Amino acid sequence: MNRRRLLILVLLVAMLLPAGSGLAQDDEFVFGMVLVGPRNDHGWSEAHFTAGRYVEEHVENSRMVFFESLNPADAPETTLAQVVEEMVSEGARLIFTTSDAFEEDTLEVAQNHPDVVFINASGDDVLTGEAPSNEGNVMGNMVWGKQIAGCAAALATETGSIGYLGPLINDETRRLASSVYLGARYCYENYRGMNPDDLEFTVTWIGFWFNIPGVTLDPTEETQRFFDQGADVVVSGIDTTEAIVVAGQRAEEGEAVWAVPYDYEGACAEAPDICLGVPYFNWGPAYTEIAEAVKNGEWEQGWNWNSPYWDDLTDNDRTAVGWVMGDGLNEDQQAQLEEFIAFLAEQDSGSLDQDTVREEGRSLGLWVGPLNLQDGTPLAEEGEVVVPIDVWYLEQLLEGMTGDSE
């Protein structure tokens, strides 16, 4: 290479360098989004990524920097600490860590970066008091969505037997499975006029949020097993679509079976005719609110367990938890479900504070006594509400449910 060409090359590099340094401009608001899975997984991570784009649209001059698939297998070369370091150097003032896998690491980075606000989705560090003042938790309150799902299942079932395809066992999954059961019991009794004690409700835990061959049970096989053993509705608690796919196949062969998928707004498309509806998380509005607050310097630490927007459960500009009505319910059933949703809305005190909910006598819908845990231990007396924190940390499934509590 002769000298003149070298000079040109050096000039070129020099010109490109400043263009590449993505430092935030003065009026730009940069926020980080750390995903545990790929941004297009049709599930958990995609929901967060979509919410990030939603924030970019709704918060003026905002820009998202994201990092997808941060887990030891897909990104062994890096850790949350390094990713956060890079995001901060890009000018991020707010960083969402969107998995309970990041809970521990978020605590540490929050301590190291006191000027940056960290939001750990689905965590409870604020609740436990571990979180430093610049860390918040946020989570859509799926307890509501799952009660609706349970009611839909009870409205549809002809055999009086419902299967719940659970992921792995922890506080969150126990509370969600139990919420489905409560919704189903209520509607079986009040709309179907049946004895709720005759309702069979079986939980099978596959072991993880999706199928890992050789590690988890196969959700396809487990769904088949539910139907083979007399259930005619399977409610999914896992990230993937096996329940509705299998139900769709069996319905095509003439069987009267239904399913309720989970997590992804468009999930009913797999088999619309037998889909009773789908509950899903919608993080956009909550994230936008947080971003606005951080941008304006008004953010306050909180443990946000957000209720749905009861007036319209499909309004993605407002609701934290959505419900899409499925074609598997006929008009009458849909009307009954709407009635149930209106009932739930009345039962929402809008508060997570235990004194407030006790005073008002309403908390999380059907979480009202008399309720016993699976081993018979009383959870709430007749008429007594179960306070949100006890629902959050539910230790066992409820009495009447079949399946492992741990």
Partner 1 sequence: MSDGRLASRRFLGVALTLGSIAASLLLTALIIIAVGASPLEVFDKIWQGIGMKPDGIDPGRFAGVVNFWIPLALASFGLVISFTAGLWNIGVEGQMMFGAIFASWVAREIFLPSVLLVPLELIAAAIGGALWGALAGVLKTRGGVHEIFGGVALNNLASIYAIYLIAGPWQPPEGGSLQSTAPFQEAALLQPVSSGFRVSLLALVLVAVAFVVVAVALRGTRWGLELKALGKSPRSALLLGVATDRNAVLAIAACGAFAGLGGAFRVLFTYGSMRPLVSGGIGFLGLLVVLLTGTRTIWVPFVSFFFAAILAGSTRLKIALQLDQSLAGVVQGILVLMVILANGVRGRMQGQVITRLPEQTPTGAQPQSEEAASG
Q: Which stretch binds partner 1 (CB under 8 A): 142-150, 166-174, 217-225, 339-347?
A: 166-174
Reduced to 3 states (helix: H, G, I; strand: E, B; else coil), residue 204 is strand
Minimum separation from the CB atom of position 14 to partner 1 (A): 10
Does 212 interact with partner 1 (rule: CB under 8 A)? yes
Q: Which stretch binds partner 1 (CB under 8 A): 48-56, 100-108, 150-158, 179-187?
A: 100-108
> Could you identify the residue written with the tokens 């919608």?
282
> Could you identify the residue written with the tokens 């062969």?
253
Site for partner 1 in 39-78 (CB under 8 A): 65-69, 71-78
What is the C-alpha to C-alpha distance for residues 299 and 54, in angstroms, rounded to an integer? 19
Question: Among residues 169 and 324, whose Cβ is nearest to partner 1?
Answer: 169
Question: Among residues 333 and 396, whose Cβ is nearest to partner 1?
Answer: 396
252's tokens: 């095509």
Does 135 interact with partner 1 (rule: CB under 8 A)? no
Q: Which stretch binds partner 1 (CB under 8 A): 51-59, 96-104, 299-307, 352-360?
A: 96-104
Segment (H or E) for 173: helix 171-190
How long a stretch of residues is the chain? 406
Minimum separation from the CB atom of position 173 to partner 1 (A): 9
Question: Among residues 85 and 339, whose Cβ is nearest to partner 1?
Answer: 85
Nearest alpha-carbon partner for 211 in 177, 248, 245: 245
Please give the DSSP secondary-structure letter assigned to residue 398.
B
Question: Among residues 32 and 284, whose Cβ is nearest to partner 1?
Answer: 32
Among 3, 5, 129, 215, binds partner 1 (CB under 8 A): 215
Within 8 A by CB and 6+ apart from 306, the residues are 138, 139, 140, 141, 286, 320, 321
Question: Among residues 60 and 406, whose Cβ is nearest to partner 1?
Answer: 406
User: Euclidean distance between the first and final Cα of the chain, in Å?
Assistant: 69
Q: Which stretch binds partner 1 (CB under 8 A): 10-18, 41-49, 52-60, 322-330?
A: 10-18
Does 7 interact with partner 1 (rule: CB under 8 A)? no
Does 90 interact with partner 1 (rule: CB under 8 A)? yes
324's tokens: 């899409």
Segment (H or E) for 343: helix 331-347
What is the C-alpha to C-alpha distance for residues 290 and 283, in angstroms, rounded to an integer? 11
Sign of CA dihedral 353, 358, 359, 361: positive
72, 79, 121, 339, 383 from 360: Cα distances, Å: 46, 45, 28, 22, 12
Does 324 interact with partner 1 (rule: CB under 8 A)? no
322's tokens: 């959505």
Does 91 interact with partner 1 (rule: CB under 8 A)? no
Among 17, 254, 296, 355, binds partner 1 (CB under 8 A): 17
Does 19 interact with partner 1 (rule: CB under 8 A)? yes
Minimum separation from the CB atom of position 27 to partner 1 (A): 20
Q: Cis omega (within 30 of 0) on the bond before 378?
A: no
Does 87 interact with partner 1 (rule: CB under 8 A)? yes
Question: Among residues 20 and 193, whose Cβ is nearest to partner 1?
Answer: 20
Question: Among residues 22 and 378, whose Cβ is nearest to partner 1?
Answer: 22
Question: Among residues 79 and 224, whose Cβ is nearest to partner 1?
Answer: 79
- Beta-bridge mates of residue 120: 97, 137
Reduced to 3 states (helix: H, G, I; strand: E, B; else coil), residue 123 is coil
Question: Among residues 172 and 265, whose Cβ is nearest to partner 1?
Answer: 172
What is the C-alpha to C-alpha distance for residues 373 and 174, in angstroms, rounded to an integer? 11
Does 85 interact with partner 1 (rule: CB under 8 A)? yes
Are the C-beta atoms of residues 92 and 65 closer than 8 Å to each other? yes
Does 217 interact with partner 1 (rule: CB under 8 A)? no
Residues near partner 1 (CB under 8 A): 12-13, 16-17, 19-20, 22, 32, 65-69, 71-79, 81-83, 85-87, 90, 99-101, 104, 168-171, 207-208, 212, 214-215, 406
